[in-house]
């Protein structure tokens, strides 16, 4: 099949596509983008001021160029992604405090107290009238929509939303998730699926709480795909078929099937001077045999394409490739899955915990802040074919995962207060304390096009033959024990660096509930 340049560009959301007018520029842009996500290029940072300092949840639409936030004191704001100007808002007197927000394909969904979920739609997407059946918007939505238009007049209505529907679940929902066009609402013992276009309740999954006498427990998170409903409980993770509602998969956080276990290690932090500028650092993945003997629970699950990611409260991540095939149990789970333990949480689980996870575009981000590219053969540009031959302690990568860390986002006290993490094709967003965010580089001119002249040469030739940065670092310690450089030491103080970490609490300006939208920009 012949693919035109415009068709290829339509697969990517970044505004950089506006400058791409030939295949060479497209390949060059994607090469640099994937290189940076692998920890081998420059990044920029920005703190959005228009959203204020009480941010709770964040949603980003890179194609529309908007950032949506809910707030600890109530309200919803929509800001311009490029200019950081306020475009539209619903008042704190209308949207409840700590409202959870979902967004996709122009639909904005947030919860009222009780069983109600409000559905709003981008004004530029309306085309037709809102739902006119039993779930039509009520007078409160209409009145506050008019009020929002008066407060934020606009000729083009960019970033403005209009009421679309008011959905009512048969019972109170403990968690909800929207993946267009389906809204999943999880109650204590049932799961309800709505179609937001029509506002109709299309399916109910019964008896999610008790399976073979084992309870699901308190619901921590829900996820929905085209074929499954996922529910993270305090006792188990469960997946139910959407076709018949039957249980398709279950896993206990304390009885995980046999699979390769890795550690997200890395060179000691003392090897890198501290910086307030955003930087990314490649992190090697090493085989790990340590077993956690403390009772745990799953806090999040996400689907990206055919892959599944599960996050445990101690910052342990499980990847399952081709999860639909894995659920059939015709092959051992080890053929599909890998477990990665993030070393940060191993020293002090009580003070460092997993808070949030984002899984988009074949990449996963979680607290630390660590970013995993799930398939290096597709997304990365490094030539790592000799990595395992020279260093047998490094993992032989059946899933081709690479990892990088965002430096200057390392303060544990601050990271524990992060309430949201979102990822787009080219950017990472956190609800993070503004005083401890990386320095704002938004107005310092354009970033360097690449990490080095060699990267540019490779982009020209599309032949990724540059030396692997992990191998280069390890060459310096060729005669030493490699594990000694990969956090295998027993000296916790070298890593914890307590003076640096706790000064947030000692700072007179430290306020735990203050959070702004902090953006790390990976785009070339």
Model pLDDT for residues 359-400, shown as the tens digit of each residue: 999 999 987 789 999 875 444 334 433 333 333 333 344 467
Residues 365 and 502: their CA atoms lie apart, in Å, by 24
The predicted structure's pLDDT at residue 343: 58
Rounded average pLDDT over 132-136: 84
The predicted structure's pLDDT at residue 506: 53
Is residue 133 very low, low, confident or very high in pLDDT (cuts 50, 70, 90)? confident
Model pLDDT for residues 472-521, shown as the tens digit of each residue: 433 333 333 322 222 222 333 222 233 334 454 455 555 767 999 999 99
Model pLDDT for residues 44-82, shown as the tens digit of each residue: 999 999 999 999 999 999 999 999 999 999 999 999 999
The predicted structure's pLDDT at residue 271: 45
Token pair 């009238």: residue = 129
| Angle, CA of 69, 72 and 75, to the nearest 5° | 55
| Angle, CA of 417, 422 and 427, to the nearest 5° | 120
Looking up residue 512, the CATH number of its domain turns out to be 2.130.10.10
**HEC secondary structure over 297-330:** CEEEEEEECCEEEEEECCCEEEEECCHHHHCCCC
* Integer Rg of the chain from CA: 23
With residues binned 3-state (H G I as helix, E B as strand, rest as coil), the percentages for the chain, rounded to 5, are: 20, 35, 45
- Residue 141 is assigned to a structural domain of this protein: yes
* β strands within 92-211, DSSP E: 101-104, 107-111, 116-122, 161-168, 175-179, 182-186, 191-195, 200-205, 210-211
- Residue 369 is assigned to a structural domain of this protein: yes
Is residue 289 very low, low, confident or very high in pLDDT (cuts 50, 70, 90)? confident
Of all residues in the chain, the percent with pLDDT exceeding 70 is 77
Is residue 409 very low, low, confident or very high in pLDDT (cuts 50, 70, 90)? confident
The predicted structure's pLDDT at residue 389: 35
Torsion of CA 146, 151, 153, 156, to 10 degrees: -70
- Name 95's Cβ contacts closer than 8 Å, sequence gap at least 6: 70, 74, 75, 76, 110
The strands making up 55-61's β-sheet, listed across from edge to edge, are 55-61, 66-71, 76-80, 86-90
Residue 214's φ and ψ, nearest 5 degrees, are -105, 125
**Above 80 in pLDDT, residue 401?**
yes
- Residue 215 is assigned to a structural domain of this protein: yes
- Residue 35 is assigned to a structural domain of this protein: no
Domain coverage including residue 453: 43-521
The predicted structure's pLDDT at residue 74: 96
| Angle, CA of 293, 299 and 169, to the nearest 5° | 145
- Among 133, 209, 124, CA closest to 159: 124
Token pair 């090697």: residue = 284
Phi-psi region at 15: left, alpha or beta (left = phi > 0; alpha = psi -120 to 50) = alpha
> What are the structure tokens assigned to 133, written together?
């059946």
DSSP letter for 483, please: G
Which range is least confidently modeled, 173-187, 191-205, 393-407, 454-468?
454-468
- Among 161, 127, 128, CA closest to 144: 161
> What are the structure tokens assigned to 3, written together?
């693919």
Is residue 293 very low, low, confident or very high in pLDDT (cuts 50, 70, 90)? low
The predicted structure's pLDDT at residue 512: 64
Give the number of other Cβ atoms within 10 Å of residue 61's Cβ. Answer: 20
The predicted structure's pLDDT at residue 127: 78
Is residue 408 very low, low, confident or very high in pLDDT (cuts 50, 70, 90)? confident
Let me know: does 175 contact 219? Beta carbons within 8 Å: yes
The predicted structure's pLDDT at residue 302: 96
Model pLDDT for residues 9-44, shown as the tens digit of each residue: 888 877 788 889 999 999 999 999 999 999 998 999
- Residue 25 is assigned to a structural domain of this protein: no
| Angle, CA of 302, 521 and 486, to the nearest 5° | 70
The strands making up 116-122's β-sheet, listed across from edge to edge, are 101-104, 107-111, 116-122, 161-168
Q: Where do the H-state alpha helices sit in 70-163?
A: 139-151
Q: Where do the H-state alpha helices sit in 97-203?
A: 139-151
- Name 325's Cβ contacts closer than 8 Å, sequence gap at least 6: 331, 336
The predicted structure's pLDDT at residue 15: 76
Model pLDDT for residues 206-255, shown as the tens digit of each residue: 999 999 999 999 999 999 999 999 999 999 999 999 999 999 999 999 88
* β strands within 343-401, DSSP E: 357-360, 363-366, 370-373
Q: By three-state DSSP, how is residue 31 classified?
A: helix
> What are the structure tokens assigned to 287, written together?
């085989």
**Above 90 in pLDDT, residue 99?**
yes
The predicted structure's pLDDT at residue 198: 93
**Above 70 in pLDDT, residue 158?**
yes
How many structural domains does the chain have?
Answer: 1
- Residue 23 is assigned to a structural domain of this protein: no
- Name 469's Cβ contacts closer than 8 Å, sequence gap at least 6: 39, 40, 282, 382
Residues 503 and 423: their CA atoms lie apart, in Å, by 28
**Above 90 in pLDDT, residue 314?**
no
- Residue 500 is assigned to a structural domain of this protein: yes
- Residue 32 is assigned to a structural domain of this protein: no
């Amino acid at each position: 099949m012949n693919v035109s340049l415009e068709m290829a560009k339509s697969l990517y959301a970044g505004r950089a596509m506006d400058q791409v007018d030939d295949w060479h520029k497209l390949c060059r842009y994607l090469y640099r983008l994937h290189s940076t996500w692998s920890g081998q290029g420059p990044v920029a940072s920005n703190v959005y001021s228009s959203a204020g300092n009480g941010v709770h949840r964040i949603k980003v639409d890179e194609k529309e160029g908007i950032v949506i936030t809910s707030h600890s004191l109530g309200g919803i704001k929509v800001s311009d992604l490029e200019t950081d100007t306020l475009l539209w808002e619903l008042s704190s007197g209308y949207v409840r405090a700590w409202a959870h927000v979902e967004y996709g394909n122009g639909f904005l969904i947030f919860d009222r107290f009780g069983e109600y979920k409000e559905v709003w739609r981008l004004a530029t997407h309306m085309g037709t009238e809102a739902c006119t059946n039993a779930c039509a918007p009520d007078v409160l939505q209409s009145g506050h929509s008019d009020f929002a238009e008066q407060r934020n007049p606009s000729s083009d209505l960019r970033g403005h939303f209009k009421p679309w529907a008011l959905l009512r679940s048969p019972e109170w929902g403990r968690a909800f998730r929207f993946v267009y066009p389906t809204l999943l609402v999880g109650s204590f013992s049932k799961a309800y699926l709505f179609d937001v276009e029509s506002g109709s309740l299309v399916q109910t999954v019964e008896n999610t709480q008790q399976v073979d006498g084992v309870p699901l427990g308190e619901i921590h998170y829900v996820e929905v795909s085209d074929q499954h409903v996922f529910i993270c409980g305090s006792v188990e993770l469960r997946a139910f078929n959407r076709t018949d509602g039957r249980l398709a998969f279950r896993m206990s956080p304390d009885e995980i099937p046999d699979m390769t276990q890795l550690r997200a290690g890395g060179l000691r932090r003392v090897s890198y001077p501290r910086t307030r500028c955003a930087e990314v650092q490649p992190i090697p993945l090493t085989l790990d045999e340590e077993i956690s003997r403390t009772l745990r629970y799953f806090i999040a699950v996400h689907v990206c394409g055919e892959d599944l990611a599960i996050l445990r409260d101690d910052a342990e991540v499980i990847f399952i490739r081709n999860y639909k095939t894995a659920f059939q149990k015709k092959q051992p789970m080890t053929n599909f899955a890998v477990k990665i333990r993030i070393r940060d949480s191993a020293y002090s689980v009580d003070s460092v915990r997993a808070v949030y996870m984002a899984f988009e575009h074949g990449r996963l981000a979680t607290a630390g802040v660590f970013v995993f590219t799930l398939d290096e053969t597709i997304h990365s540009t490094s030539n790592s074919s000799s990595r395992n031959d020279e260093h047998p302690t490094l993992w032989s990568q059946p899933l081709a995962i690479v990892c990088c860390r965002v430096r200057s986002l390392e303060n544990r006290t601050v990271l524990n207060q992060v309430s949201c993490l979102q990822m787009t094709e080219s950017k990472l967003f956190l609800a993070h304390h503004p005083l401890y965010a990386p320095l704002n580089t938004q107005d310092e001119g354009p970033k360097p096009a690449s990490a080095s002249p060699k990267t540019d040469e490779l982009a020209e030739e599309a032949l990724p033959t540059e030396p692997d940065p992990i191998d280069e670092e390890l060459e310096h310690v060729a005669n030493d024990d490699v594990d000694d450089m990969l956090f295998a030491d027993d000296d916790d103080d070298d890593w914890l660096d307590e003076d640096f970490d706790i000064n947030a609490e000692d700072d007179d300006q430290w306020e735990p509930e203050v959070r702004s939208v902090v953006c790390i920009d990976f785009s070339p």
